[in-house]
Amino acid sequence: MIHDRAAVFGEKFKATLAATGVTTVKLPARSPNLNAHVERVIRSIREECLDRFVIFSKGQLEYLLREYVAHYHEERPHQGLGNQLISGKQGKSEGRIRRRTRLGGLLSYYDRVSG
């Protein structure tokens, strides 16, 4: 887990995480931009995915996160990359447009199919 230097992330907190197998990484001092990136990713996951489900189990949470991360890295165009995919895959420029979904239609993406 990446965290800033706030007092809440003390030794007791780190020991609790370590007991569950989670390792921690403390951000360097005076690096507010690093924390901002982490906070933005967490916000996106919550707003675009987790806030829309009632989660009953760890397995369900892990499934939702896997699906969201796959969508984020493989299917979602990114403005910072000129609306290209992180994976670098190039879509077809010809063919019928097809809508595909994940998580029951919560996440949508579009591609082209031949014919």
Domain ranges, ordered by start, for the chain: 31-113
Pairing mode, if any, of strands 96-102 and 107-113?
antiparallel
Confidence grade of residue 50 (pLDDT, cut at 50, 70, 90):
very high
* 106 pLDDT higher than 90: yes
Q: For the residues 84-88, what does the mean pLDDT come to?
A: 73
Q: Is the pTM of this model over 0.85?
A: no
Q: For the residues 8-30, what does the mean pLDDT come to?
A: 84
Pairing mode, if any, of strands 2-3 and 25-26?
parallel
Q: Give residue 1's pLDDT.
A: 80
Sign, CA torsion 92/93/95/96: positive
What's the rounded Cα separation, in Å, for the pair 91 and 103? Answer: 22
Confidence grade of residue 46 (pLDDT, cut at 50, 70, 90):
very high
